[in-house]
Amino acid sequence: GDFQTQNEDSRSSLTFAGLDRGLIVTNSDYSEDALELQVHIRQDMGGHTMGDRNGFILSGLGRTWVRLPTGYLYDTEWASTILVDDKGVKTAPLDGTKARQPSKVAHFQDEALATFVTGDATYATTLSGIGEESCLEWTLNGRDSRL
């Protein structure tokens, strides 16, 4: 196809919503000083996964103001996740080499003056649908428990 036509088509909307993979990117416009918000709910099971969810990046006026501090993440210890006794979710044998945490977009609404997105972080506080291998292990009153 024609690059110029494809480029114009891709800029016909100020918001990209990849709801199936939990990625939303929205812009005030496409100038260098435009405000851009990227929200990555996760989980992108087939690609660049990480244990941190509901992360966002905010850029504007030619610089990044808020950034995701992590890249390729093996365990969740170094991301903004719930830790118990300084331990995060460990990589389970079924996960391969990455901590794969399921998540979903709970609400998305794109309007002319604002874009709203909310990510479901239920897994951060429950074990719903997760194998035993992915549990946080912690100790309470001298005995091992699972969170």
Q: What pTM did the predictor assign?
A: 0.57
Rounded to an integer, the average pLDDT of 17-29 is 86
Q: Is the Cβ–Cβ distance between 101 and 128 less than 8 Å?
A: no
Distance from C-alpha of 26 to C-alpha of 17, rounded to nearest angstrom? 8
In this prediction, residue 12 has a pLDDT band, given cuts at 50, 70 and 90, of: confident
CB atoms within 10 A of CB 52: 20
Residue 121 pLDDT > 60, yes or no? yes
In this prediction, residue 125 has a pLDDT band, given cuts at 50, 70 and 90, of: very low
Instruction: Decide: residue 100, CB within 10 A, 0-12 exposed, 13-18 middle, 19+ buried.
Output: buried
Rounded to an integer, the average pLDDT of 98-118 is 79
Position 15 scores a pLDDT of 92
Distance from C-alpha of 1 to C-alpha of 55, rounded to nearest angstrom? 34
Task: Say which CATH topology domain 3-146 has.
Answer: Beta-galactosidase; Chain A, domain 5 (2.70.98)
Distance from C-alpha of 42 to C-alpha of 50, rounded to nearest angstrom? 8
Opening angle at CA 107, ends 105 and 62, nearest 5: 80
DSSP H or E run through 79: none
In this prediction, residue 36 has a pLDDT band, given cuts at 50, 70 and 90, of: very high
